[in-house]
Amino acid sequence: MLDELERDKPHEECAVFGIFGHKDAVPLTILGLHALQHRGQEACGIISSNGNHFQMKKAIGLVGDNFNKPAIIDQLAGYCAIGHNRYSTTGASDYKNIQPLYADFDFGGAAIAHNGNLVNGLQLRGDLVDNGRIFSSTTDTEVILQLIAMVKGHITDRLKYALSRVKGAFALLCMTKDCLIGVRDSLGIRPLMLGKFNGKYVLSSESVGFDIIGAKFERMVEPGEMVVITESGLQSIQITPKRRARTCLFEYVYFARPDGIIDGINIYQARKQMGRQLAMESRVSADVVVPIPDSGTPSALGFAEESGIGFDLGIIRNHYVGRTFIEPTAAIRHLGVKLKHNANRSVLRNKRVVLVDDSLVRGTTASKIVKMVRDIGAKEVHFRLASPQVLFPDFYGIDMPTKQELLANNYSMKEMIDFLGVDSLEFLSLDGLYRALGEKDGRDKQNPQFTDHYFSGDYPISVVGHDAPKDELSYMQVVA
Amino acid sequence: MLDELERDKPHEECAVFGIFGHKDAVPLTILGLHALQHRGQEACGIISSNGNHFQMKKAIGLVGDNFNKPAIIDQLAGYCAIGHNRYSTTGASDYKNIQPLYADFDFGGAAIAHNGNLVNGLQLRGDLVDNGRIFSSTTDTEVILQLIAMVKGHITDRLKYALSRVKGAFALLCMTKDCLIGVRDSLGIRPLMLGKFNGKYVLSSESVGFDIIGAKFERMVEPGEMVVITESGLQSIQITPKRRARTCLFEYVYFARPDGIIDGINIYQARKQMGRQLAMESRVSADVVVPIPDSGTPSALGFAEESGIGFDLGIIRNHYVGRTFIEPTAAIRHLGVKLKHNANRSVLRNKRVVLVDDSLVRGTTASKIVKMVRDIGAKEVHFRLASPQVLFPDFYGIDMPTKQELLANNYSMKEMIDFLGVDSLEFLSLDGLYRALGEKDGRDKQNPQFTDHYFSGDYPISVVGHDAPKDELSYMQVVA
Amino acid sequence: MLDELERDKPHEECAVFGIFGHKDAVPLTILGLHALQHRGQEACGIISSNGNHFQMKKAIGLVGDNFNKPAIIDQLAGYCAIGHNRYSTTGASDYKNIQPLYADFDFGGAAIAHNGNLVNGLQLRGDLVDNGRIFSSTTDTEVILQLIAMVKGHITDRLKYALSRVKGAFALLCMTKDCLIGVRDSLGIRPLMLGKFNGKYVLSSESVGFDIIGAKFERMVEPGEMVVITESGLQSIQITPKRRARTCLFEYVYFARPDGIIDGINIYQARKQMGRQLAMESRVSADVVVPIPDSGTPSALGFAEESGIGFDLGIIRNHYVGRTFIEPTAAIRHLGVKLKHNANRSVLRNKRVVLVDDSLVRGTTASKIVKMVRDIGAKEVHFRLASPQVLFPDFYGIDMPTKQELLANNYSMKEMIDFLGVDSLEFLSLDGLYRALGEKDGRDKQNPQFTDHYFSGDYPISVVGHDAPKDELSYMQVVA
Amino acid sequence: MLDELERDKPHEECAVFGIFGHKDAVPLTILGLHALQHRGQEACGIISSNGNHFQMKKAIGLVGDNFNKPAIIDQLAGYCAIGHNRYSTTGASDYKNIQPLYADFDFGGAAIAHNGNLVNGLQLRGDLVDNGRIFSSTTDTEVILQLIAMVKGHITDRLKYALSRVKGAFALLCMTKDCLIGVRDSLGIRPLMLGKFNGKYVLSSESVGFDIIGAKFERMVEPGEMVVITESGLQSIQITPKRRARTCLFEYVYFARPDGIIDGINIYQARKQMGRQLAMESRVSADVVVPIPDSGTPSALGFAEESGIGFDLGIIRNHYVGRTFIEPTAAIRHLGVKLKHNANRSVLRNKRVVLVDDSLVRGTTASKIVKMVRDIGAKEVHFRLASPQVLFPDFYGIDMPTKQELLANNYSMKEMIDFLGVDSLEFLSLDGLYRALGEKDGRDKQNPQFTDHYFSGDYPISVVGHDAPKDELSYMQVVA
């Protein structure tokens, strides 16, 4: 029930966080991962090091539920640490896929954590298996680890080789006994940024990872840049040509926490602006603007400001929802959506409601929320989405439904209006979205500023063959 | 760290939920308790019955984490069930105090769950112990159970006797093999309401317990009313004189979920009105109204509407905070407040900020949030509280600091301004609060409509002697 | 499967251990309970005290699996402690019945642990419930606790009063903030003994509890004696007339560990002597004497010595059997007995085997073992039991089958031989058993030295009414 | 404390069990592993298959504690399964090393479990790592898995290649989607045998694995033989030259369960014969022969029979000892040995005692037992070991102390007598041991029948370089 709710939104698969050379590296990494929890709640892991040796802890569930004991901090103690949050669809059996991954090499150990997806990961894995490599996970991360093992030399050279073989989007951290490395893919699709805490370098998927510990944001890791942090400081190696970042639009639309900044763009203000732009593009006569919380709230505020219609909390969210919940009996199965949302009668009754959300993917939860809003007595429901129709699947690390499950790919506007049961339905235009993000002329078709294939069909990295579902990569299932 | 954050707010100690005569009684009770989770997150319990026998499950933690397996629903199976959420300060060792409580009597078994506090509980317990009664918990609930055991006759007569001995505030559920009873204290301080689901009666602390299962709200249980639900229907017994409910003001100010109604008053609209009233009473020249989420949001919206100052989310809350978190090392201990809240720079920087919260009790978290807001670059911080100064302790079931810890009780306005580090500080007047709740003339001093001693010192039930801390009631500690 | 195996033997329900005034009271009690683990493996508990306050830990399972962490010892820390091992038939749901029990009184707290059974426990409980007492367990121990609560005065006077009301067999420990009390029932049916460790008094069900910690056995607690241990030393109070102990015969036959001494009789030598006596009474022509391990081993050794037939380990026991095991599919259900025992082919094949066990109760496991011995190739199987036929049920604390399930009560010798599939079957005579225990003239019918009703029908304490199954005492079941 | 006790004996590292083509493959494997539990108690694992897919469950602890739920059997359901018991010194952190191991190959999945040790495992691992292979465990088993991955072709050819590269002792099982393979090392050092259950083939380390399920022992797997079991039956491939098995002597002396047969030799009768031979070689005038249970019991029986001195249980063993136990405070640390053994006063007091054990390795536990026997009042203690002095370390899979810790390697007979505190000390001669195993002329120096390097220094497989401790193979430690 909950799964359906959660999976009705696209999901980023990961967050990474790392720090080098601080005696509190482990508690700081725990806090950093906690601040990045919104990017993945299924599993988390930390690997730390104190020079030669490494300690690892992985767990199913939230950071705050698994890394909350002083004894764990003591056992992990190290001056260098990297951590990872993971969203996953397959549950406890996936224990083997929790990151960071680790391997012993001739030069010592190395740990890797990454956020993103390789479009040629399956092909590379096949080649490696054909050449006698044994995999112990089904992650792309292990493909990179295996490639690192195939060449000799310093870890930076090995990593350069490995990354020259892979194609895809990633923000990657690698830790050895004497360095912490961060790399961002050549287009900068996934975010990765550099901060400083008490003079020590920190790497994080989002700036909120710095905020929680009081670290100072320094700068974005650039597309194709490898930053190598050692005791002697930071070295920057540009492994692919310099270019402006073409960040994934969904970071601004949905993934990133509103209180952050990615590639110079303030997320909260961008989302409010998307709401304002949406109001400009799709005027409506109504009594109240109501966000679907929490993701629709900033754009609903912007919509309300621009439209002059009052903003009110017409839907209340229950935040005490764990990862799993009861599978209710048949008699009460339809109640599912209410585990998380409840209609606020006094705001909605007899009102013409503008319902605002950030995006529409499958539409199943949205249709239930609309029904709940109608049942409580709303007179009209006008649904506004602060992003364009999602028409194309993603292959760069977003856990999004297949093409067949994308509502906008299968239904006409008229059919969507019927399916959702709304009085009107409008999406922000792609040009409008670009404008909200500061591109005054909208999307530059020749050289678009962002990665936007799910809206435009314009894939910046060509996908190699058919990317098989990862759960078919192994014939083996771990029983909990 | 978290404890400090949480405990800086007053805490209601419980929620109750019960249903009689439905084959899905257990899953419905689970859902009801989930909707009432905000009233207590430390522990939860359900007792069900199928005529003669009873099944009980109690757990430390959230409903959704402990009652989420089909096997548990199967084991608890019954057509009648009552459940309880509990807030507690003492952790796992308190397992023995998780409600509902159960006892075997000559007529069979009975289970009791209650929300509230008895002001003569300690005295009664002392008398009972002197008379050779053995207690297995330190709860008031067991006092009621012992009193029930002392007389003969039908459970309704026994319960009437027991309640004639106790003084205090309570919403109480009692389940035997053939009936479900709900009672509300003579003043109606704690809420309890009656609903119907598929023709079966349901009892809940708040209406959101009905919403989640699609039950229909019927009416409040009246002050001093005992509703007895059996197979033949509902019988109402007025055990103390009829009167209008004098509900606890803090239900409206903070405890209840905004999407509910108590004694005819819509919580969300009331809170917005408190914000409006507050704006009228304490005008300020500023750039932005920022709520301390989530409790300050409705009143901040009202404040913004009334004052004409824009509303914005200047503080972002991280909802992935479990019950416990790391005890950070000394070096990072001051980061605590950021586990839950982060300042949203783009909203606050160089702004004159009106910070709105529902109430101020200890002030320690507030002072940290103000510091965070200032550190991010706010030019001015004007703190507005949508309720009066909390000057007096509570004895009717709110877990509130002692008088010595109440900020307003110890500090002058000037001192509070210094302590909090704000540019100005204003509280809603008590009359203003009454007005926001529909009393046009403010508080009627002779016959006030609500229970408001924490603001006024006017205790509707006199406290008997000194109410000793409950953890001193037993010499024994259970080791987990 | 395993349950069947285990329950085919009678079971003592408990062991008790206590120590007063030693800084290592808790680890010493853990060790003592470990040495007494054979008397009960289902659950264990310890309550400790450091003057005014008490700490309690209870657990399902073995002492060594639950009290094995330094942190637990630290949390329980006290200079006085009592502990209890419990055998139980009902599993995790019985958590509430794990001893020791605790209650707060006007004089402070008191903890009680006891081994045995009250024949009027049910009646007393009924009276107490009728008088408004609430029970939180279904144990006899709580009856004693309730009786203690009913009178005033010093704990010794209260306990004297309580014990004057109860009838039955018991070895009881009671701990308050300033004393440790041990009492043995008026006939001395259940054993309890006094030892000294580093000058401090220790109480234990068996002497092996002293051996493990290196304590010195001082003497048995006498029938009807209450020993009160305080800082000023030991005081002995005779609460019923002095008499020679009439110890339960099954302690010598089966319950007690062979390396102990009870009421002056060495268990191992007594069992060997039972085997010798059995050989004298029932000569047989055979090739090898084989014990059913471990309980049949000492008497088999005695039988072999007396008969001159060689002793050999024809059945090997697998000790790695936990409390529960798989419920095999239908296809392999009959394999159950082999979880614990395997036939040793080289010893049994083509041999005339004398199989020796201590006692025969239900006979179901025995029949499976005989079949296993025959299947492996034994030519003849002569079954010899080192105790008489069990014909009557027990009411003094042994967990034994009902009369209907006792093989010897329902079958003639001829029928038993057929049921078991043996070539011959002989039991030690009751006179022979007495002789093995040093009564040269056998059993004195007027004044028998031991409690032996299961063999003789001679109940030393008359049973009051019908003793209902304890699991019917409560209408409530705890769901794990 | 316990660790010391346990580790004072040599330890076999593993047991393997497998079955092909039976619908109850998983419960049968659980039972088989349970019967083989004595060969390893630290961890256990099972991998099952139903044609194409595989399921795996691994756990720290005993089979009976971890594979005892019907749900687990359901989840693992398959018609083919292999399982493994493991002894290990390093605890929970070793989770990654629990067998069976699994890998995906181009032909599908394969699982491997093995008992034994490779003397060139470290060297091979080093070569593989140099060639870019990543290891996810530190086991020899993974070396074999990596070698299988390096070549193409059918699994039997791959396995032949892999085994042609390794040197050492092993009994190995390998399962793919359509076959179960068993291989025994070229000398047959570790045992592996073939049985049949309901027409289906079963493989087990010992015959007791067959006994528990009622399978019929067929024959030993021969040295250097690979048996390949498929739907079409069994195929035998001799991968190294045929020869008579040179089984590890310690299987007969200590490891194997007494109720089994290895390479035609009955373990129980062999041990009794060792005791008889020992009595012939070292006559002594004494009152009683006492075994150190359980391992010394059969040889003590043989010693008693041959010497004519009576056999008695002078030491009683407590079997309720879990894997870990308390770390007692300093005051009671010396009590450790009594967790497992207690002296039986009536047997030992004032007696001249012959104490018999199977072997002597470190001697620390033996010295404590001797002290306990003396303290209880034994007049003389004559210690007899039913095997020769252990002078040399093992490299073929026995977890034995280093040379420095072997008592006999460091002490003269005179010094050992002093260290142990005995009146006399005698070991069975190596020739005597061979005679007890049926070699009438004792050990054939040219062509010894058994692997006996720990006694003789005669290593049948030369050790390559220095075999580094396995825990140094990885720089990484998993935190539980």
Within C116-256, residue ranges assigned H as helices are: 121-130, 140-150, 155-165, 208-211, 249-250
pLDDT at D271 exceeding the cut of 80: yes
Give the gap in angstroms from C-alpha C23 to the nearest C-alpha of chain B.
19
Q: Which two tokens stand for residue C457?
A: 């029908």
- What is the overall mean pLDDT for chain A? 91
Identify the pLDDT of residue A182: 98
The reply to whether residue C134 touches residue B146, judged by beta carbons under 8 angstroms, is yes
The reply to whether residue A72 touches residue D149, judged by beta carbons under 8 angstroms, is no
Q: Calculate Rg over the CA atoms of chain A.
A: 23
The reply to whether residue A76 touches residue D129, judged by beta carbons under 8 angstroms, is no
Q: Tokens 């903890």 — which residue? A: C111
Identify the pLDDT of residue B36: 96
Mean pLDDT of B418-428: 98
Residue D333 confidence class, pLDDT cut points 50, 70, 90: low
Instruction: Count Cβ atoms below 10 Å from residue B419 Cβ, excluding itself.
Output: 17
Give the gap in angstroms from C-alpha B378 to the nearest C-alpha of chain C.
48
Mean pLDDT of B277-287: 97
pLDDT at B170 exceeding the cut of 50: yes
DSSP string, D160-221: HHHHHH--EEEEEEEEESS-EEEEE-TT--S--EEEEETTEEEEESSTHHHHTTTPEEEEEP
Catalytic residue among B14, B80, B174, B248: B14
* Nearest to A135, CA basis, from A396, A398, A470: A470
Residue A91 confidence class, pLDDT cut points 50, 70, 90: very low
Q: How far is CA B383 from the centre of its chain?
A: 25
The helix (H) or strand (E) run that includes residue D54 is strand D54-60
pLDDT at A31 exceeding the cut of 90: yes
pLDDT at A332 exceeding the cut of 60: no
φ, ψ of residue B210 to 5 degrees: the values are -80, -45
C-alpha–C-alpha distance, residues C266 and C436, integer Å:
11
The reply to whether residue C344 touches residue D62, judged by beta carbons under 8 angstroms, is no
With H, G, I as helix, E, B as strand and everything else as coil, classify residue C210: helix
C-alpha–C-alpha distance, residues A178 and D304, integer Å:
65
* Nearest to C34, CA basis, from C85, C74, C88, C100: C85
pLDDT at C315 exceeding the cut of 70: yes
Q: Which residue of D has its CA nearest to C315?
A: D259
Identify the pLDDT of residue A88: 62
Task: Show the CA angle centred on residue A227, arms to residues A222 and A231, nearest 5°.
Answer: 155
Partners of A326 on chain B (C-beta within 8 Å) are 27, 30-31, 67-70, 73
- What is the overall mean pLDDT for chain D? 91
Q: Which residues of D are catalytic?
A: 14
Residue A478 confidence class, pLDDT cut points 50, 70, 90: confident
DSSP-assigned letter for residue A95: G
C-alpha–C-alpha distance, residues D198 and C303, integer Å:
40
Identify the pLDDT of residue A4: 42
DSSP-assigned letter for residue C98: P
Identify the pLDDT of residue C330: 54
Identify the pLDDT of residue A441: 96
Identify the pLDDT of residue B4: 41
Give the residue from D134, D147, D165, D471 with the most A CB atoms within 10 Å of its CB, the best one to mutate.
D134
Partners of A476 on chain D (C-beta within 8 Å) are 47, 53-56, 102, 104, 109
The reply to whether residue A475 touches residue D150, judged by beta carbons under 8 angstroms, is no
Mean pLDDT of C208-233: 97
C-alpha–C-alpha distance, residues A126 and A123, integer Å:
5
Residue pair B371/B336 in contact (Cβ under 8 Å)? The answer is no
Mean pLDDT of A463-479: 66
Residue pair D217/D195 in contact (Cβ under 8 Å)? The answer is yes
Mean pLDDT of B100-129: 92
Chain length of chain D: 480
Mean pLDDT of C129-140: 91
C-alpha–C-alpha distance, residues A256 and A250, integer Å:
8
pLDDT at D158 exceeding the cut of 90: yes
Identify the pLDDT of residue A3: 38
The reply to whether residue C132 touches residue B109, judged by beta carbons under 8 angstroms, is no
Residue pair B326/A73 in contact (Cβ under 8 Å)? The answer is yes
The reply to whether residue A342 touches residue B31, judged by beta carbons under 8 angstroms, is no
Convert the pLDDT of each residue in B461-480 to its tens digit.
Answer: 987 655 445 556 788 888 87
Identify the pLDDT of residue C334: 58
Identify the pLDDT of residue A71: 83
pLDDT at C472 exceeding the cut of 80: no
DSSP-assigned letter for residue C248: B
pLDDT at B359 exceeding the cut of 90: yes
Mean pLDDT of C68-92: 82
Identify the pLDDT of residue D320: 85
Q: Which of A65, A212, A294 sits opposite B335 (nearest CB)?
A: A212
pLDDT at A345 exceeding the cut of 70: yes
Give the gap in angstroms from C-alpha A473 to the nearest C-alpha of chain D.
8
Convert the pLDDT of each residue in C450-461 to its tens digit.
Answer: 999 999 999 999
Listed range (C470-474, D158-162, D299-303) with the worst mean pLDDT:
C470-474
The helix (H) or strand (E) run that includes residue D45 is strand D43-49
Mean pLDDT of D362-371: 93
Residue A326 confidence class, pLDDT cut points 50, 70, 90: low
Partners of D324 on chain C (C-beta within 8 Å) are 64, 68
Give the gap in angstroms from C-alpha A109 to the nearest C-alpha of chain D.
6
Q: Which residue of A has its CA nearest to D131?
A: A150
* Nearest to B339, CA basis, from A83, A67, A212: A212
Convert the pLDDT of each residue in A200-221 to its tens digit.
Answer: 999 999 999 999 999 999 999 9
C-alpha–C-alpha distance, residues C258 and D341, integer Å:
12
Mean pLDDT of C197-213: 97
Residue pair A393/A403 in contact (Cβ under 8 Å)? The answer is yes
Convert the pLDDT of each residue in A109-126 to its tens digit.
Answer: 999 999 999 999 989 999
Partners of D52 on chain A (C-beta within 8 Å) are 475
Within B257-340, residue ranges assigned H as helices are: 267-281, 297-307
Mean pLDDT of B440-452: 96
Identify the pLDDT of residue A320: 84
- pLDDT above 90: percentage of residues in chain A: 76
pLDDT at C87 exceeding the cut of 80: no
Residue D61 CB-density burial (10 A; 0-12 exposed, 13-18 middle, 19+ buried): middle
Convert the pLDDT of each residue in C371-396 to its tens digit.
Answer: 999 999 999 999 999 999 999 999 89
Q: Which of A56, A151, A473 sits opposite D479 (nearest CB)?
A: A56
Identify the pLDDT of residue A363: 93
Q: Which two tokens stand for residue C250?
A: 């099954």
Q: Which two tokens stand for residue D379?
A: 């007049």
Residue B1 confidence class, pLDDT cut points 50, 70, 90: very low
DSSP3 helix / strand / coil % (chain D, rounded to 5): 35, 25, 40
Residue C92 confidence class, pLDDT cut points 50, 70, 90: very low
Identify the pLDDT of residue B334: 58
* Chain A residues within 8 angstroms (CB to CB) of chain D: 47, 52-57, 72, 75-76, 102-106, 108-109, 129-130, 132-136, 142, 145-146, 149-151, 177, 473-479
Give the residue from D312, D346, D376 with the most C CB atoms within 10 Å of its CB, the best one to mutate.
D346
Q: How far is CA A164 from the centre of its chain?
A: 24
Q: Which two tokens stand for residue A457?
A: 């069909």
Cα-Cα-Cα-Cα torsion A221, A226, A230, A235, nearest 10 degrees, comes to: -80
Q: Is the dihedral of CA C325, C326, C330, C334 positive or negative?
A: negative
The helix (H) or strand (E) run that includes residue B43 is strand B43-49
Q: Which two tokens stand for residue C387?
A: 């105790």
Residue C111 confidence class, pLDDT cut points 50, 70, 90: very high
Identify the pLDDT of residue D4: 41
